Structure formats: C-alpha cells, structure tokens
Amino acid sequence: MEQLFSQLLTLGRRMWKYRWAGLLAAWLVGALGVLVAVLLPNRYEASARIYVDTQSILKPLMSGLAVQPNVDTQVQMLSRTLISRPNMEKLVRMADLDLGNQSKAQQEALIEVLTRELSIRSTAKDNLYTLSYRDKDPDTAKRVVQSLVSIFVESSLGASRKETATATTFINEQIKNYEAKLEEAEARLKEFRLRNLELTASEGKDAASRLGELSNQLDRARLELREAENARSAAKQQLAAERTRLDSAAQAALQDPSAFAMPEMDARIDAQKRNLDVLLQRFTDQHPDVIQTRKLIKDLEEQKKRELADMRRNSSGSTSSGSSSSGTPVQQELSRMLATTEVQVAQLQARVGEYSARYQQALSALKTAPQLEAEAAQLNRDYAVHKKNYEELVARRESAAISGELDVASGVADFRLIDPPRASNQPVAPNRLVLLAAAWGLSVAAGLGTSFIASQLRPVFHDTLELRDVTELPVLGVVGRLNTPAEVSRSRRSMLRFWSAGGLLFICFAIGIAAMAVIANRGA
C-alpha cells in the first residue's frame, strides 16, 4: 500500500510539471464542448396516442358463421411494419415534405431521416400505441405524426378488404373448377348406373353380401313355407276331429231320452196330477171333476209323446246335414283357419320360387360382380370427394362474404385517437444541461490526460530511489538547488495564474449549467 501511494505521488509530481499543457487542453476541450452544446439546433417532438379496441360485440355473435382472424396479432404486425419504405414515401407526399427536395439523393436522405426519427411505442396489454416524431420545425413534426396516424388506420382497413377480396376471388375460381369436375363425375356415375341397373337396388352391397342375403331370405322363406304347411295340416286334422266329435254327440243324443226335455209340458202334467190328488181326497172316482182331470192328464201325455217324436225326427235330420256343412262356431273358425293357411302356403310357395330365381341369377352374376363393384366404388369415391370439396368451398365463400361484410360493418378494430397529434412548445433535444456537464467532464479528463501523456513522453525523476530503480546504478549523492527570492516570487505568481485559470474554467461551467437549469425549469 505504501509503495502504491509512493507511485501515485511520483506520477502526480510528473503530471504537475506539465500542468500548463493540461490546463490549455482543458480550456480547448471545454470551449469546444460549450460551442457544440450551444450551436446544436433545437428539436421539437410531436406525438399522438391511439387506442385499438379489438373487442367487438358483432364478432361473438357471428362466431361460427364468419372467419374470426386474430385481430391482436394483425394490429401488432401492422405496427411493426408501419415504418416501411412504401409507407415512408406515402408519408413524404402526405406531409408535403418533398416540396423542397428535388434530387433523388435528397429524397433518399429524407426517407432515411424519417425512418430513423419515427417512433412507435406500444403496451401489449392495453393496445395503446404512441406515435412520435422529432424535427427542427414543430409544425412539420405535427404534420408528419398526423399523416402517420392516417396511414396507420387506413392500412388496417385496406389490408383487410384486400385480403377478403383476394380470398373471395380465389374461392370462386376453385368453385368453378370443382363444379365442372362434379358435373363430369355425376355424368360418369349416371352412365354407369344406367348400364348396371342391378347394382342400383343393391344399396351399396357387394356381390357376396347380396348372395348371402338372398340365401338367407330363401332359407327364411322355405322355413316359413314349412311352418305354413304344418299349420295347414294341423288345421285339417282339428277340423276332421271336430266333425267326428259332433257326429258322435248327435248319435248319443238320439239314444238318450233325457236329451229331449220338455219342462213346460212336464210342469203342466205335474200340476194336473197334484190337482187330481186333491180331488180324490174330497170326491170319488165318479165325480165329474175327477173324470175331467184324468182326461186332461191323458191328453197332455199324448201331446208330449207326439212332440217328443217330432223332436227326435228333427234331431236326426240336423245330424245328417251337419256332417256336410259347418254349423257350429268351432267348425266355422277351423274352416277359416284352414282357408287362411291355404292362402299363406300359396304365397310362400310363390316367394320361395322368386327367391330361388334371384339366388340363381346372383350366383351366375358373381363372376363379373367384383369388377363392376370396383368401378362403382371408384366412381362413388370420386363423386363424394368432389362433392365434399365443392360444398366446403361454397360454405367458405359464404363465410368469406359474411366476414367481408362484418369487416365493413365493424372494421378490423376500432381505432380511437386518445391524444390528437400535438407538438411540444419547448424543444425536447438537445439536453444542453447534460451536454454542458459532459463538456465539463471531458475538459477535466482532457487536461489530466494531456498532463499524463506529456509526463510519459518526457519523464522527470523526483526521487533518488526511483532513479536507482530505473538506472540500476548506485546513487552517490544529491545536489540540491536553492531558489532566489525572485524565482520564488515568480513561482508563486505562476501558481496563482494556474489556479485562477482552472477556477475560471470551473466557474464558467458552473454558471452555464446553472443558467441552463433555470431555463429548463422556466420552460417546464
């Protein structure tokens, strides 16, 4: 640490020897810095703030019907590509900046200046964009910002409408192409179906499937035929059994006297018999009433016998006729069932014959079916692809039309001018306060640097130890110098002039910085 301090002290002594050169350099650099700070032209800034509202109430309502582009991404890309050469050339014309520039070189320089000085700052969350431009003339800066705002808004609308028109034109061309392809596919498919009508009714099934289906239908029809024939046989057997049962019952009825009951006649005979018993208890057999009652009983019994004989004859006749016609409800129902089964058997026999013919026809056409099915599948596939693409293109054309109308109605976004273009009355550049402070620092650095360089170019030894270390020779002695009073007085005057000159430089910079600070505060 002591050695480092000794080296710094030695370096300071060397630089002190060339202090006047350093002071001159400081004054020159300071004067040059002040001159630059004072002569730099004032620059005024014009700015405007735009809020881009990308949330429209129509877009959620039209979701699914219209194409919903990413508006935020479009606006961000638009802000990044706004400062492009075509826009800058348009900006020069809109702001009348090309009136004084006649040559091509001047126009190129003006475009480069605009590209460099224009600034677009944005906050991603708020969609708030600040457009600013600096120029020596505040009115020119304001016109440039106003033109830039117009270009910013018009570029978004024009780009969106141009994209919609381009997309619609392309889709219309594709629709025409696919419409022609679809018509050709429909014509080929129609011609194939007319040449192969048997495949039209197959509902898209192959030959093996149709053959299997016909086989199943034939087996099912044969099974139903056997069931109907069995039902017919059962109905015949039941009808025959019913007829036999009725004949047996009729014969048994003829042999059974109780089968021909006459309750009214029997009641009348019983009543007369009871009356006879009552009369016999009161009278004799020769009484007229008794004789009359016995005669009445005899007449009733003879009448009963005649009626029984008639009933038996009638029963015998009905039994003989019932064997040839269905007289009972059971016989009628069995006869109806037999007729129904006969009709069903005839229908099923016709169905079995038809299915057998179809099966033989499908079996004979099985050899050529694979080629026809492959051709039909190819035609149907081509037709389905063209139809699907055509319908999708038509739907997208409608969606593009709705999207274009939506953009016309609501625009890509709502551009709101929060702060209109306005130029500041006070210059924003250059910052002369900072420039003066920098010039002051540079002047001090220039003075110290000049003294240091001079001390390194023409070194002087101020210490015996340093001399011995550099020369690596022993120092035998030191001869001192005694200054005369005149030299001491001259040295003091020189010191006073040096510090006066240095202090004057400091005071000048301090006054300049203070003046600039006061002017800046008044302007604010």
The residues spanned by each domain of the chain are 1-40+430-524, 207-364
Q: In Å, how far are 2, 43, 438, 454 from 431, measured between CA atoms?
A: 44, 10, 11, 34
User: For 491-522, b where at least 16 C-beta lie within 10 A, e where not — what string?
Assistant: eeeeeeeeeeebeebeebbeebbeebeeeeee
Segment 436-457 mean pLDDT = 89
Q: If DSSP states are collapsed to H, E and C, what string results for 256-316? A: CHHHCCCHHHHHHHHHHHHHHHHHHHHCCCCCHHHHHHHHHHHHHHHHHHHHHHHHHHHHH
Give the whole-angstrom CA distance, residue 142 versus residue 46: 5
- Provide CB contacts within 8 A for 515, sequence distance 6+: none
Tell me the C-alpha to C-alpha distance, in Å, between residue 202 and each of 205, 453, 509: 6, 107, 106
* Predicted confidence band of residue 323 (pLDDT cuts 50, 70, 90): very low
Give residue 163's pLDDT. 62
Are 167 and 67 in contact by the 8 Å Cβ rule? The answer is no
d(CA 520, CA 524): 6
Q: How far apart are CA 523 and CA 55, in angstroms?
A: 41
Which one of 23-32, 55-64, 112-121, 368-377 scores highest in mean pLDDT? 23-32
Residues 354-371: pLDDT tens digits?
Answer: 888 888 877 776 666 667
Are 78 and 129 in contact by the 8 Å Cβ rule? The answer is no
Task: Evaluate if residue 61 carries a pLDDT over 50.
Answer: no
pLDDT at 306: 83
Enter the pTM of the model: 0.43
**Residue 126 to residue 18: CA distance in whole angstroms:** 61
Cα–Cα distances (Å) from 403 to 56, 76, 406, in that order, read 13, 21, 5
State how far the Cα of 42 lies from the Cα of 426, in Å rounded to an integer. Answer: 9
pLDDT of 90 over the 80 cut: yes
Confidence band of 156 (pLDDT split at 50, 70, 90)? low
Tokens matching residue 411: 């625009």
Edge-to-edge strand list for the sheet holding 414-423? 119-123, 128-135, 44-53, 414-423
Residue 326 belongs to what H/E stretch?
none
Query: Hey, what are 268's tokens?
Result: 């009348």
Distance CA(298)–CA(336), nearest Å, equals: 51
Q: What is the pLDDT of residue 419?
A: 84
Q: Which residue has the higher pLDDT, 360 or 403?
A: 360
Cα–Cα–Cα angle for 353, 357, 361, rounded to 5 degrees: 170
Q: What is the pLDDT of residues 186-214, one digit of tens each?
A: 888 788 777 776 555 455 566 677 778 87
**Is residue 72 over pLDDT 70?**
no
Q: Please tell me the number of Cα atoms within 13 Å of 188 on its side-chain side.
A: 16
For the stretch 120-155, pLDDT in tens is 887 656 678 888 888 888 888 888 888 888 887 776
For residue range 369-401, list pLDDT tens digits in order. Answer: 667 667 777 878 888 888 888 888 888 777 777
Among candidates 519, 347, 314, which has minimal Cα distance to 436?
A: 519
pLDDT-derived band at 66, boundaries 50, 70, 90: very low
